[in-house]
């Protein structure tokens, strides 16, 4: 018989918080989901807005890359520190502050007149996102004390998180067809204003009474180490076609990251009040959950990257049209996330979390095996890739139930870091596979055409060469197909590893 444990929240003075009424719990989830959706959308919406920004502000190629990368670099670097800080000052306080930073940074775009100012605003948005994302997850632990309700809430949270990346291009495409590029930032302001008011009214304050002092050195190490790691991954991916692995700056950043994160891990493992309790990884269900979150986002991040380009540059759709055609990602995510609790009751979390990785593996294999790549096959593959969000829902429940209440912030930071790194790995690894295959198919007969499909199409337009357009689009389609094979193998192996790590008798309704 299942033991249902309650995990009560604590007031700032350490006393217990009474369970919230049902209407308030679900209203709080709605607020947290809207805020999360806005933050996740910002990871992809700039990709749509970048051509318009470039046309007006004339950034260099390096500045364009920093416009895209500044957000995820700052976000990844600050997740651990912001989560630990929220445990100490209060999770609701951190959320409201994060909403304010995110909203103000979005509003300041009205005064952004240079590429450097846009880069600075993207970095500030990353700060706000790092304050918001882990706090939403740990706050769900506080609001939903019943474990079955919490699993459903985490399923909805996971669906929103997964769907946000697919919805971002739709919102961006719609705004850019009707307004200036500033609208891609300003759209964040109204949700943040609503979230600030609603959080103040609906959410209880919660903090860890005995969180200990602030470890400044560990915070600096985590920020620098994570930012170096993400930058190294992106740098390898951007220059792999031209330089292969002979990329000295990337290797230097990777070595620096290993040294800094190794120092950070050693420090955390040898302190009584660590900034991040890495001893949580001794719990197999938490380790399995983190891996599931990581690889689910690899499928989503890499899949959306290559398929969004294929829809626009090969199939000829506008950004808005391409955005709508990416909706099968969101559809698959919503269905499996909402039904995840029911599947666990039928089959147990071990099988469900593994199948949640094997489904996107099947989706990517379908793209590889399709007899001539066309949208119906791609749509079916995207729906299966999005279905991996069901694994995210159960992975979240495994992570949160596998950690003590006092370590909810630590667990949330681990999960959010896995999400962000998964997205970066997906873009870097699968994006690099696509770039290598494309370059090898196009060849070097036309200088510059092997750099990217967009470059080849522009060269073909200038030179009046439909043959080059046909060659380049065919090469990119081949690249998408090969990405399907690599992604399928990667996710199939990840599913098997998660299945082995997850305890056979795991019950996510029991606090471990």
The reported pLDDT for the residue numbered 13 is 39
More confident residue, 149 or 65: 149
Residues 403 and 433 in one domain: yes
Residues 137 and 86 in one domain: yes
DSSP per residue, 120-138: HHHHHHHHHHHHHHHHHHH
- For residue 189, the domain's CATH number is 1.20.1250.20
pTM metric for this prediction: 0.74
Residues 225 and 334 in one domain: no
Residue 10 binned pLDDT confidence (cut-offs 50, 70, 90): very low
Residue 302 has pLDDT above 70, yes or no: yes
What's the average model confidence in pLDDT over 437-463? 79
Residues 73 and 92 in one domain: yes
End residue of a domain, out of 223, 245, 274:
274
Q: Cite the DSSP H helix spans in 348-407.
A: 349-369, 375-386, 389-401
Residue 459 has pLDDT above 50, yes or no: yes
Residue 102 binned pLDDT confidence (cut-offs 50, 70, 90): very high
End residue of a domain, out of 274, 298, 320:
274
Phi, psi of 377 (to 5 degrees): -65, -40
The reported pLDDT for the residue numbered 390 is 65
The reported pLDDT for the residue numbered 408 is 64
1 falls within a domain:
no
The reported pLDDT for the residue numbered 196 is 92
Residue 4 has pLDDT above 50, yes or no: no
67 falls within a domain:
yes
89 falls within a domain:
yes
Residues 235 and 357 in one domain: no
10 falls within a domain:
no
Residues 246 and 313 in one domain: no
The reported pLDDT for the residue numbered 508 is 64
Of the candidates 508, 138, 495, 507, which has an alpha carbon nearest to the alpha carbon of residue 291? 495
The reported pLDDT for the residue numbered 509 is 58
Residue 211 binned pLDDT confidence (cut-offs 50, 70, 90): low
Residues 143 and 290 in one domain: yes
More confident residue, 497 or 399: 497
Residues 245 and 181 in one domain: no
Residues 249 and 393 in one domain: no
What's the average model confidence in pLDDT over 440-458? 77
Residues 458 and 488 in one domain: yes
507 falls within a domain:
no
The reported pLDDT for the residue numbered 424 is 66
What's the average model confidence in pLDDT over 225-254? 79
Residues 170 and 159 in one domain: yes
Which distant-in-sequence residues (6+ apart) come within 8 Å of 341 by Cβ? 148, 151, 152, 155, 393
Domains in the chain, number:
2
What's the average model confidence in pLDDT over 159-168? 71
6 falls within a domain:
no
506 falls within a domain:
no
pLDDT tens sequence across 319-363: 778 778 888 887 887 788 778 778 888 888 888 888 889 999 999
Torsion from C-alpha of 58, 59, 60, 62, nearest 10 degrees? -160
What's the average model confidence in pLDDT over 59-74? 75
Residues spanned by the domain of 251: 215-274
Residues in a beta bridge with 16: 10
Q: What value does the mean pLDDT of the chain take?
A: 80
The reported pLDDT for the residue numbered 3 is 31
More confident residue, 103 or 294: 103
508 falls within a domain:
no
What's the average model confidence in pLDDT over 446-462? 79
Residues 264 and 298 in one domain: no
End residue of a domain, out of 274, 301, 325:
274
More confident residue, 376 or 133: 376
The reported pLDDT for the residue numbered 262 is 93
The reported pLDDT for the residue numbered 12 is 40
Cα–Cα distance between 485 and 507 in angstroms, integer? 34
pLDDT tens sequence across 353-398: 888 899 999 999 999 998 888 899 999 998 998 887 766 777 777 7
Structural tokens at position 120:
């600075």
Phi, psi of 440 (to 5 degrees): -65, -30
Q: What share of the chain has pLDDT > 90, as a percent?
A: 16
Cβ atoms of residues 437 and 479 within 8 Å: yes
């Amino acid at each position: 018989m299942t033991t249902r444990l309650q995990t009560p929240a604590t007031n700032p003075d350490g006393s217990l918080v009474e369970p919230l009424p049902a209407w308030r719990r679900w209203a709080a989830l709605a607020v947290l989901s809207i805020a999360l959706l806005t933050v996740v959308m910002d990871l992809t919406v700039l990709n749509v807005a970048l051509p318009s920004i470039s046309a007006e502000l004339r950034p260099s190629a390096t500045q364009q890359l920093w416009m895209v990368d500044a957000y995820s670099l700052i976000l990844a670097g600050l997740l651990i520190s912001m989560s630990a800080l929220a445990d100490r000052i209060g999770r609701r306080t951190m959320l409201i502050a994060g909403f304010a930073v995110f909203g103000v940074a979005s509003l300041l775009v009205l005064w952004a007149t240079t590429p450097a100012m846009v880069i600075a605003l993207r970095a500030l948005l990353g700060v706000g996102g790092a304050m918001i994302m882990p706090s939403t997850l740990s706050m769900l632990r506080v609001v939903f004390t019943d474990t079955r309700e919490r699993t459903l809430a985490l399923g909805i949270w996971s669906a929103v998180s997964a769907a946000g990346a697919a919805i971002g291009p739709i919102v961006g495409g719609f705004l850019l067809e009707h307004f200036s590029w500033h609208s891609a930032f300003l759209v964040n302001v109204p949700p943040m204003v609503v979230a600030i008011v609603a959080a103040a009214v609906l959410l209880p304050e919660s903090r860890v009474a005995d969180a200990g002092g602030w470890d400044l050195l560990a915070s600096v190490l985590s920020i620098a180490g994570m930012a170096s790691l993400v930058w190294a991954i992106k740098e390898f991916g951007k220059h792999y076609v031209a330089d292969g692995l002979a990329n000295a700056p990337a290797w230097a950043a990777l070595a620096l990251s290993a040294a800094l994160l190794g120092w950070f891990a050693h420090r955390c493992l040898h302190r009584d009040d660590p900034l991040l309790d890495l001893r949580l990884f001794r719990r197999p269900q938490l380790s399995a959950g983190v891996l599931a979150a990581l690889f689910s986002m690899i499928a989503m991040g890499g899949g959306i990257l290559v398929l969004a380009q294929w829809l626009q540059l090969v199939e000829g759709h506008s950004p808005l049209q391409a955005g709508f055609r990416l909706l099968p990602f969101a559809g698959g995510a919503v269905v499996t996330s909402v039904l995840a609790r029911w599947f666990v009751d039928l089959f147990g979390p071990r099988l469900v979390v593994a199948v949640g990785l094997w489904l996107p593996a099947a989706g990517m294999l379908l793209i590889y095996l399709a007899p001539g790549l066309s949208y119906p096959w791609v749509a079916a593959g995207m729906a299966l890739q999005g279905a991996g969000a069901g694994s995210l829902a159960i992975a979240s429940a495994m992570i949160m139930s596998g950690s003590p209440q006092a370590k909810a912030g630590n667990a949330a930071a681990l999960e959010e870091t896995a999400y962000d790194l998964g997205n970066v790995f997906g873009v870097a690894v699968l994006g690099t596979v696509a770039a290598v295959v494309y370059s090898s198919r196009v060849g070097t007969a036309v200088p510059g055409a092997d750099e990217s499909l967009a470059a080849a199409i522009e060269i073909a337009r200038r030179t009046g060469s439909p043959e080059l357009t046909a060659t380049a689009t065919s090469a990119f389609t081949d690249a998408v197909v090969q990405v399907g094979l690599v992604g399928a193998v990667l996710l199939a192996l990840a599913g098997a590893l998660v299945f082995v790590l997850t305890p056979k008798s795991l019950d996510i309704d029991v606090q471990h």
